[in-house]
Structure 1
């Protein structure tokens, strides 16, 4: 291996995804490391240039609101893949499927029988005081009983190699288009490396998603509802519409007539049976939710409530990814499925719980605190990176609203070799696998979105705050 490339790679302090110790790759990574060893600095620089051009030509962008006034830039992509062994992935796959079945059962129960509250497993106020609880769907069961058709479950690996669930995303999870395009770019710019590795395919995601949405109703086409071109994930909306072979529509492109949702076309109105919504539920219908919304369709909720429409994800799924609900997911799995959780939660302290607020305040410098109703990494405070003034400011916010915060121990996050300024350096990563559920059997996209904190020492991997991504290679044993 040429000096100055992987030979000079210095491991980080925790678990490295590719190496056991300096110069010693993990067993399942040996073929990838050997292939990388055959690449010169010039090869990597050329691959980097070609990847950048490909992303630019494909228009793969993301809006970073934390920069200037919110600029749109090319989605940062690192050439070095994250590699996962087939055996480990199978455990992840089973654990994610288990989790989604339990979360779907929880949402159904929360809006209907509320057995989990009656049994004292989850306090009622945790559910009913959640800003994500949607009273409009009380007593409602969506078509097929499926609430969570699409989810993105964030996983992190601690220093001892354990994979933990950090967060559930069950409303409108984003990022899957980058998984698919990362794979396309990998095969284009590093074809020999990819071909030699035996990697599970990801290209059939759109088919699984389309089938899951259409499996509920067949009396009309499916569409993707987007807020429009100014949404940060608009690229993903257009990409998925093309991949699924469906129309991308805005609220103004549809109308409710005679109890059905219809799409306006040059040939007149066409009934729609399924909507993959990328619009937040409060903006879906100005007659039933936010009255000044121009993003939705007046009367859409009435059609949905009457059973005339499949919405993916269903209205009300936000309670399943509320950070105050998160600590109870292991008990949900035991209660609804009668099984032990296959994937552990990151330990989580709810500020509203007795004694928890005092503990959080006493250990702020050791914990990661999060607002319960924020996403994208916003509002996250990593205690050990704060000075006394910053910690005091956070303490005031928590004291004023204990129930508005949760805290977790700092998971070190595993590292992965990342090409930085022409050399390989360790950078922290997490993983967002995507799960598609049709009410029968969850399907997990092999791999998912590996997000990488590009700044040295950073724990924030979110693309909305300047993080990047890697292709995730799940080995299928074919190499």
Structure 2
């Protein structure tokens, strides 16, 4: 197992993984050479001082994430661990990723429209009807309901990984209310203020305009046609793990930050309560799940949503972003069929491949996986954030046996994938470089046109040897640069 080494000595051994900075010959990749030289020139004391300033700044600005653990009686609010060595993506590499993400989100949006209207893909047997109609995120309430500009997915977060050869794969699609936006922008802000000599010595594609693109997309989706529609971000409140992100986005885009009790529905129109009375709201960027959106339509015990908001939505008096029911397309079993969606709706071959996936409702694939659980990553189809997973190579015999029983009892709830050793990148630990596994969450905004935010959010598994990068499981993040 690789150990941290002195920053100014021989780099760590990058094999057997794909390393973002170092090649197998221990030489630095061309696009990383300037960053490597500048870090090499830094004194350990200065570097530690900057890292301490980074954590202090994040605490002062409230850049936090609430960590929930079954082992703890109370949730733990903490800063997101931030690593100062940026992840760098060459322009040519990024252009291919961008094309692949455009293609994928286009097909996913067409799939959602199809299943809530004519269901042609189901009639032709390309995707099993039962898999869609019995999916917990399929919403019959959305059947035959048209949405503005046919945009069901305004913002999506697509998780990408690289295998041992450096080839990119799509690991997961996040379409309901993807998180991580704020950490992308804050990472760039921190690097600009605390490591300016690094940032300004590179030509990095700008990300700041992406918030304007997102705001323009929300305005365009207003059903009222007003030149200045009222837009609100609906948050579950300050106890939500991503509340910092909700406040950040509302402030940066100049939109209202609202909770369910701030809104009321009158005559199928949604209003914000304020000290000056009621004000009609046109677009709601929701950061709560469908189940809690409207107690009259979904979960009757919900205290987070707004009673009657779905009636206002059906009446065309408010738009909800992302549309209710989009979760059916980011289910992990449906994920296995996205390449077929691309072929069906776009008449193209996928630019970005899926990780090979076994759907455990299929008897032959289930038997194959059960015989090799120690080599597999098994995921519960409806969960995210690193929950409900078995990582076979690091699991105990008892954990493998327990998971086998879960699969046998409810095979429809699980998919399995071969373990891919995620690519690695160096992080700074106590003034030394150490290798850690990473992934990339790319954010795609669909408005008048589709835009991929340059770079996205690189997430880091900070525990040595771990493949789990999720913030909810203790992961950290890096700034991600697309070099022009």
TM bracket, shorter-chain basis: over 0.9
Q: Could you tell me which residue of structure 2 aligns to residue 60 of structure 1? A: 63
**Equivalent residue for 2:79, pick from 71, 74, 77:** 74
Q: How many Å apart are 1:262 and its aligned residue?
A: 1.0
Residues 1:178 and 2:186 aligned together:
no
**2:331 matches 1:322:** yes
Task: Summarize the alignment of residues 131-146 of structure 1 with structure 2, pairs less than 5 Å apart.
Answer: 131-146=136-151
* Residue 200 (structure 2) pairs with residue 195 (structure 1): yes
User: Which string of whole-angstrom CA distances, capped at 9 and with x for unpartnered residues, describes residues 384-433 of structure 1?
Assistant: 11222211111000000111100001110000001123210000000001
> What residue in structure 1 maps to residue 159 of structure 2?
154
Alignment partner, residue 130 of structure 2: 125
Matches within 5 A, 1:356-435: 356-435=365-444
1:349 deviation in Å?
Answer: 0.4
SS in 1 for 2:179: coil
SS in 2 for 1:184: helix
Q: Match for 1:27 among 20, 27, 30? A: 30
Conservation of the 8 A alpha-carbon contact between 1:9 and 1:417:
no
Q: Could you state the TM-score of these two structures normalised by the residue count of structure 1?
A: 0.97
How far off its partner does 1:11 sit? Answer: 2.8
Displacement, 1:43? 2.2
Aligned with residue 104 of structure 1, among 106, 109, 116: 109
| 9, 12, 26: which one aligns with 1:10 | 12
Q: How many residues align?
A: 473
Query: What is the CA deviation profile of residues 163-183 of structure 1, one whole-angstrom value per residue up to 9, with x for unaligned ones?
Result: 000000000100110000011
In structure 2, the residue matched to 1:115 is 120
State whether structure 2 residue 286 is matched by structure 1 residue 277: yes
Q: Which runs of 5+ in 1 are unaligned?
A: none
Match of 2:271 among 262, 267, 287: 262
Residues 114-164 of structure 1: CA distance to partner in whole angstroms, max 9, x if unpaired? 010111111101111111111111111211111000110000000011000
Query: Superposition RMSD on alpha carbons, in Å?
Result: 1.2
Structure 1 residue 442, shift from structure 2 partner: 1.3
Offset from partner CA, 1:17-75 (integer Å, 9 cap, x none): 01113541112212222222221212211110110111011110001102622200111
TM-superposed CA distance for 1:6, in Å, is 5.0
Pairwise CA distance, 1:206: 1.7
Task: Say which SS state the counterpart of residue 156 (structure 1) adopts.
Answer: strand
Match of residue 457 from structure 1: 465
Per-residue deviation at 1:109? 0.3
What is the aligned counterpart of 2:479 among 454, 471, 477?
471
- CA distance in 2 between partners of 1:378 and 1:458 (Å): 15
Q: Distance in 2 between matches of 1:280 and 1:120?
A: 29
SS in 2 for 1:45: helix
8 Å CA contact retained: 1:6, 1:424 = no
Unaligned runs of at least 5 residues, structure 2 = none
Deviation at 1:304, TM superposition (A): 0.5
In structure 2, distance between residues paired with 1:333 and 1:367? 26
